[in-house]
Amino acid sequence: MEKVKFNNGKLRILQISDAQDMHWVRKTMLWMLENACEDLKPDLIVFTGDNILGNHLRDYRFSSKRKEMSREKEFEIMRTALAHIFDIPERRKIPFAVIYGNHDDMNSFTGDEQAEIIRSYKMNRGFENSGDLCGTYRLPVYSSDGEKQLLNLWMMNTAWHDKELDKCFSDITEKQVEWFKEESAQQKNANDGKAYPSLVFMHIPLKELNDFTQECSPEESTINFPGLNLKKKKGVFGHLHEPVTPVENDNGFYEEVKKDGGVMGIVSGHDHLNDFYGEKDGIKFVATPCASFRCYGNPHRGVRIFDIYESNPADFYTRTVYYKELCGDNIISDFRLFWDADEYEKKKFAVLGGLAAGAALIGGAAVLGKLLKK
């Protein structure tokens, strides 16, 4: 597996979160992601979970009713769903890394079985762990000449579906925390006792992300949840449009992150409408919105970039790049947003119903006119 490296002194990471689609994919999302790769020219893409709607692989196309099918058939459907997004960097020869989200393994398969598909891609850079640590791993980043490690990217699995209990969990397990402690110690030993600068990527955020929001009056609230009024605190950048939904238990992971001393940012997805960041304990907490058009979102859906420079890898710049920045602010992008985005579903059917009624009225008037002439 080839190393991930800085490119002429700079590393640009493109984060894609909550693509959350199926084998019948919404084409507008793919258009947006293709444009993101073309325009933003990333050196690495990180998919931060909910890469597919794993719990809907057996659905009929126009219904949530479930089909009866073989396990082999469901696996091929999962492969097709994943291919829609992973074929983009594979075709463009852009290295990519993947973690799981709560929707990814809500199906018949284990994380390791799904990882078989991810590992089959030549541009995949990760997933060396298996079993309880599948989806949790460390990705080192090297200098432009490939000679020296400069950066660590920690990929943390935060969600899985227990097949026996038929229940979803959102934790960082004790085993993951022990793994992080051991890896952190080894990395320091290899770097003269210093931690490498690093970013942590995870699907479901830590509870500390709530520290960047505060209760407020209904007039000030930026979220549309009945009985709940929240806004960003001062010094927080971006948009808050839904409550933060954090992991249930991190088992001391955040304390270990602070002890590591090299983590400069903790990056999450999961909360589709949020794209803000703020700083706590010298660490930037970053929330990234969804890329999906099949699930709930808003006009702020898009992707996020991180720019890190080889001359100062202990700092980074980040921003969200929105759908209309990537696809144009024009009637075509407006129509495609309206047609493909789930939040317009009721309006879309109302328009289609109106058009159908209008067509029926015109047709009926034409028939009546012919009858009157007779």
- Mean pLDDT for 140-151 is 97
The full set of domain ranges for the chain reads 4-340, 345-374
Structure token pair of residue 70 = 């073989």
Greater model confidence, 122 or 356: 122
pLDDT above 60 for 256: yes
In which band, very low, low, confident or very high, does the pLDDT at 358 lie, cut at 50, 70 and 90? low
Place of tokens 């144009």: 328
Cβ atoms of 159 and 204 within 8 Å: the answer is yes
pLDDT above 50 for 315: yes
64 burial via Cβ count (<10 Å: 0-12, 13-18, 19+): exposed
Q: Which range among 210-219, 294-303, 311-320 shows the weakest confidence by mean pLDDT?
A: 294-303
The superfamily (CATH) of domain 4-340 is: Metallo-dependent phosphatases (3.60.21.10)
pLDDT of residue 359: 52
- Mean pLDDT for 15-37 is 96
In which band, very low, low, confident or very high, does the pLDDT at 352 lie, cut at 50, 70 and 90? low
In which band, very low, low, confident or very high, does the pLDDT at 350 lie, cut at 50, 70 and 90? low
pLDDT of residue 373: 56
pLDDT of residue 316: 98
Place of tokens 């699995």: 157
pLDDT of residue 108: 86
pLDDT tens-place string over residues 66-85: 888 899 999 999 999 999 99
In which band, very low, low, confident or very high, does the pLDDT at 56 lie, cut at 50, 70 and 90? confident
pLDDT of residue 369: 52
Enumerate the β-bridge partners of residue 16: 47
pLDDT tens-place string over residues 179-226: 999 999 999 999 999 999 999 999 999 999 999 999 999 999 999 888
DSSP code of 108?
Answer: S
Structure token pair of residue 52 = 């597919």
Q: From edge to edge, which strands make up the β-sheet containing 263-268?
A: 4-5, 137-142, 149-156, 198-202, 263-268, 283-287, 275-280, 237-239
Q: What is the chain's percent helix, strand, coil content, to nearest 5?
A: 35, 25, 40
In sequence order, what E strands does the chain have? 4-5, 10-16, 44-48, 96-99, 137-142, 149-156, 160-162, 167-169, 198-202, 213-215, 230-232, 237-239, 263-268, 275-280, 283-287, 302-309, 312-322
pLDDT of residue 141: 98
pTM: 0.92
Q: Is 271 helix (H, G, I), strand (E, B) or coil?
A: coil
pLDDT above 80 for 64: no
- Which has the closest alpha carbon to 104: 361, 316, 292? 292
Q: Indicate the residue type of 7.
A: N
DSSP code of 205?
Answer: P
- Mean pLDDT for 302-323 is 97
pLDDT above 70 for 364: no
- The residues near 236 (Cβ < 8 Å, ≥ 6 apart) are 212, 213, 276, 277, 278
- Which has the closest alpha carbon to 38: 340, 261, 303, 221? 303
pLDDT above 80 for 23: yes
Cβ atoms of 50 and 270 within 8 Å: the answer is yes
DSSP code of 225?
Answer: B
Cβ atoms of 192 and 172 within 8 Å: the answer is no
pLDDT of residue 59: 85
In which band, very low, low, confident or very high, does the pLDDT at 58 lie, cut at 50, 70 and 90? confident
pLDDT tens-place string over residues 80-115: 999 999 999 999 999 999 999 999 988 889 999 999
pLDDT above 50 for 24: yes
pLDDT of residue 368: 47
For all residues of the chain together, what is the average pLDDT? 92
Distance, in Å, from the CA atom of 49 to the CA atom of 104, rounded to the nearest integer, reads 7
- Mean pLDDT for 316-335 is 97
pLDDT of residue 80: 96
Is the Cα dihedral 116, 117, 123, 129 positive or negative? negative
Cβ atoms of 238 and 287 within 8 Å: the answer is yes
Distance, in Å, from the CA atom of 51 to the CA atom of 295, rounded to the nearest integer, reads 12
Calculate what percentage of the chain has a pLDDT beyond 70: 93
pLDDT of residue 294: 92
DSSP code of 68?
Answer: P
pLDDT above 70 for 354: no
